[in-house]
Structure 1
Amino acid sequence: MKKTILAAVIGIAWAGASLAADPAIGVWKTQPDDGAYAYVEMVPCGAAICGTIQRTFRDEGEYMSENLGKKLVIDMVPDGNGDYAGKVWRPSNNKIYNGKMSVSGNNLKLSGCVAGGLICSKQSWQRVQ
């Protein structure tokens, strides 16, 4: 019994450490969409990665969007090679899409698709921190 508990604790700690080292973790600047962009904080959410809108900007500067604190990237599950699959919420039309994400250094590519992936919208994000 003690060995089983110890193995479970070690497994949980290992999973937590691997998520902490996940390249998607951090704050990312979105590409402008309908004249606005945001800073999205990516954090572990269970075995996946989720991204919440932390700050919002327009040409005139930072503003208090009604979308602050809302989840934009939903349950992106990593495949271990820098690619992820999950859901993406688009604030401008309030729709959730099947999403894919890939991280390469300080660049993150995000896509949301409908019709089984036949129609997709893509963005490139830059790491802020």
Structure 2
Amino acid sequence: MIRILVLAGAATLSASLACAQEPIVGTWKTASGETAQIAPCGSSYCVTLKTGKFAGKKIGTLAGTGATYDGEITDPKSDKTYSGSGSLSGNSLKMKGCVLKVLCKSQTWTRL
């Protein structure tokens, strides 16, 4: 009987860990006031605009865990793609895009 309870507890724990989402997953308010959705896509996370002029446009792909993510960010206005990163601090996400890892621009998004 104890063995069954231990096995059931282990199965429940492993299922809950598998369903746990990364902290970056969710809906975010961008610096321009639009809404972006970050969701798993394959082995990374896709950033898609949900509101505004470019709603439905995928603007980035990030990979990582915890508080630091790296990948690519696309400026929807110019359609240019840059090396990018995201770093989490509470309900704030600092998004950064760089050209040649020297000229960088960043903005802070807020979790909705």
Identify the TM-score tier after normalising by the shorter chain: 0.7 to 0.9
Larger radius of gyration: 2
1:41-86 CA distances to partner (integer Å, 9 max, x unpaired)? 1100111111111112xxxxxxxx2x11011122x111x3310010
TM-score (norm 1): 0.69
CA distance in 1, matches of 2:16, 2:71: 23
Structure 1 CA distance, aligned partners of 2:80 and 2:102?
Answer: 17
SS at match of 2:50: strand
Q: How does 1:97-116 map to 2 (within 5 A)?
A: 97-115=82-100
For 1:21, the equivalent position in structure 2 comes to 21
Query: Which residue among 57, 61, 81 is the counterpart of 2:66?
Result: 81
Match of 1:122 among 90, 106, 109: 106
CA pair 118-24 structure 1, distance change in 2 beyond 3 A: same
Query: Take 1:114 and 1:14, find their aligned partners in 2: how far apart are those partners?
Result: 40
Q: Percent identity?
A: 35
RMSD: 1.8
Native 8 Å contact 2:72 2:82 kept in 1: yes
Q: TM-score, normalised by structure 2?
A: 0.79
The letter of the residue matching 2:63 is V
Q: Hey, which bits of structure 1, 4+ residues long, moved more than 2 A?
A: 13-17
**Structure-1 separation of matches of 2:81 and 2:17:** 28
Structure 2: distance between partners of 1:113 and 1:16: 33
Distance across 2 between alignment mates of 1:111 and 1:15: 30
Which amino acid is 1:46 matched to? G
